[in-house]
Amino acid sequence: MRIVALGGIGEIGRNMTVFEFDGKLLIVDCGVLFPEEHQPGINVILPDFSSIRDRLDDVVAVVLTHGHEDHIGGVPYLLKERADIPLVGSRLTLAFIEAKLKEHRITPKTVQVKEGDRRTMGGFDLEFVAVNHSIPDSLAVAIRTAAGMVLHTGDFKMDQFPLDRRITDLGSFARLGAEGVDLFLTDSTNADVPGFTTSEKDLGPAIDAVFRTAPRRIIVSSFASHIHRIQQIIDTAHRHRRKVAFVGRSMVRNMTIAADLGYLNIPQGLLVDFKKLERSDDHKVVLICTGSQGEPMAALSRMANKDHAIRISEGDTVLLASSLIPGNENAIYGIINALTEIGANVVHKGNAKVHVSGHASAGELAYCYNIVKPRNVMPVHGEWRHLRANSEIAVATGVDPRNVVIAQDGVTVDLARGRATISGKVDAGLVFVDGDSVGGITEEDLVERRRLAEEDLVERRRLAEEGVVTVLAIIDPDNGEIVEAPEFFTKGFSCSNEDLDKAGAAVEKALRDAASNRQGGRRQDPEDIIERATANWMRRFYNRQPVVTAIVVDA
């Protein structure tokens, strides 16, 4: 069996792993990566499908471990290349992806599964195992073939007191381990964090304290799929007699689905349309929106930039109920600073216990290794430091170091005769989605965009520091001479009328010189002459370099 990650190794996001056996392909997850500051104009980043594009007919299914965007967001783009690939997942996961695909006008072929189910897809015998994560209905998957068994954890942790009382099924992990796990693909996100991940229920007191002390509105920002956290917010709002409104298309869509399917319990009368909350007392209002990662077009970012119907005011409390995804720190802190400048009280993981991770820490990973006792290990879902930390945990629990494979996106790993070894490499670059364009933007294009953005920033600074001069001149179109003294309008600095008269004389001289030097040749643009003469005069007599714009009117 050959395994290749087309995303999700060496990064947090874009998760997609392809398994090949007996000429057939099985895909586990197909997610997106969100752009960073140095990737302007990009909506999302996809896995690179090029290595399987001419083999899409061999794909027997796409298994979706859970409903987060970094695991399902790329599915619409894959199905645009072959629409009838079966999607296998839990009830909630399929509901989320079906709603997303509806926006892309795609009706998928789906196979609903739950923990304990077994399905055969092509030459792959699949068994699904319950795991706890920050979204309900998450699944690990055991993949059996004649070449051996692979256990892929998906994203998971071992919360012993989860809000939905659905714990990671360590009994099934142990049973699979006793049968013989030839390759263990494990979530690495928190591998460098000692101990065990804090339980979701332990956040209750901190969230309650925010509600108890907030004098005005509370604006909560979270992932649109973080149902557990949003349930905590709803329960707390209900206790404190505050009305709740969802803000943002994806938040409204996902929470409607979760409530309809019974994964989210909303007390009757608690939920209202956010437009109606404008007539409510501020201390009775809770808004739940997207944008906890600083996404430019998400609701919270637009609120911070004062570009949203909801205007955050002094005394409002903003609760960021998500962790910082690596690479998003600058964008998130930029929003925190903007909100603080407005006068909001911003509560986040750095100053209050209002978020816990959805991923297993080092202690939980060690526990799993000791239960599963895998022959080979391949850390997934993490940056390089996370993969290295995960591999060290595996070795510490007794896995032979020679059987721990740290791969990268595009590296092929072959499982044969009980050993996993690196065998080659395929293309697995970043595929940028820019509006309706998929893959048309290159790294070189982004470099050019950054250059233009930097030039624009320099020009804006110049406007702020040096000022602006606009010159209005009435010119005789026949001879190019000025008809009356030019008018000057300055912004950002002041000039005396006497000095402006001198500048006007310099402009008139430049126009006369240009007219007399033409001698039947091509006429120079009067706008260029005026702008150049004005800029030279300002530099010489005022030691300034303002932005100069000339407006020429024909007499």
Share of the chain above pLDDT 90, in %: 51
For the ranges 24-38, 196-210, 276-290, 317-331, the lowest mean pLDDT is seen at: 317-331
Find the mean pLDDT for residues 218-227: 86
Kindly indicate the confidence band of residue 320, based on its pLDDT and cuts at 50, 70 and 90: confident
For the ranges 289-303, 338-352, 357-371, 497-511, the lowest mean pLDDT is seen at: 289-303
pLDDT at 498: 84
- CA proximity to 542, closest of 551, 531, 534, 550: 534
pLDDT at 293: 61
Residue 235 has pLDDT above 90, yes or no: yes
pLDDT at 452: 64
pLDDT at 494: 73
pLDDT at 179: 97
Question: Residue 103 phi/psi, 5° resolution?
Answer: -65, -25
Helices (H) and strands (E) in the chain, counts: 14, 25
pLDDT at 83: 95
pLDDT at 462: 64
Kindly indicate the confidence band of residue 455, based on its pLDDT and cuts at 50, 70 and 90: low
pLDDT at 477: 78
Find the mean pLDDT for residues 243-248: 89
**Residue pLDDT, tens place only, 295-304:** 555 678 778 7
pLDDT at 67: 94
Is 446-554 CATH 3.10.20.580?
yes
For the ranges 2-11, 107-116, 214-223, 480-489, the lowest mean pLDDT is seen at: 480-489
- CA proximity to 466, closest of 491, 438, 496, 497: 491
The half-sphere exposure of 38 on its side-chain side, counting CA atoms within 13 A, is 5
Query: What fold characterizes domain 200-347?
Result: Rossmann fold (3.40.50)
Find the mean pLDDT for residues 459-477: 78
Find the mean pLDDT for residues 470-480: 83
Count CB atoms within 10 A of the CB of residue 528: 11
CA distance linking residue 431 with residue 433, whole number of Å: 7
Kindly indicate the confidence band of residue 435, based on its pLDDT and cuts at 50, 70 and 90: low
Find the mean pLDDT for residues 426-454: 74
Report DSSP state, residue 284. Answer: G
For the ranges 110-124, 180-194, 356-370, 444-458, the lowest mean pLDDT is seen at: 444-458
Instruction: Find out whether 240 and 211 touch, Cβ atoms under 8 Å.
Output: yes
Residue 208 has pLDDT above 60, yes or no: yes
What CATH class has 2-196+357-435? alpha beta
**Residue pLDDT, tens place only, 177-192:** 999 999 999 999 999 9
Residue 334 has pLDDT above 90, yes or no: no
Residue 347 has pLDDT above 90, yes or no: no
**Residue pLDDT, tens place only, 13-48:** 899 999 999 999 999 999 998 876 666 667 788 999
**Residue pLDDT, tens place only, 270-316:** 998 877 777 778 888 899 987 656 555 567 877 877 777 788 888 89
CA distance linking residue 263 with residue 163, whole number of Å: 11
pLDDT at 292: 55
Q: List C-alpha distances in Å: 483 to 311, 486, 552.
A: 51, 9, 11
What length is written for the chain? 555
For the ranges 222-231, 347-356, 495-504, the lowest mean pLDDT is seen at: 347-356
CA distance linking residue 388 with residue 403, whole number of Å: 14
pLDDT at 296: 52
pLDDT at 43: 77
pLDDT at 333: 79
What's the whole-model pTM score?
Answer: 0.78
- CA proximity to 127, closest of 110, 145, 140: 140
Residue 492 has pLDDT above 80, yes or no: no
Which residue matches tokens 């670059």?
A: 429
**Residue pLDDT, tens place only, 77-89:** 999 999 999 999 9
Q: In the chain, what are the domain boundaries?
A: 2-196+357-435, 200-347, 446-554
pLDDT at 33: 86
pLDDT at 14: 92
Residue 519 has pLDDT above 60, yes or no: no
| CA-based R_g, the chain, Å | 30
521 or 356, which is more confident:
356
pLDDT at 458: 64
Tokens of 113: 């599964």
Angle at 326 between CA 306 and CA 137, to 5 degrees: 90
Find the mean pLDDT for residues 314-326: 78
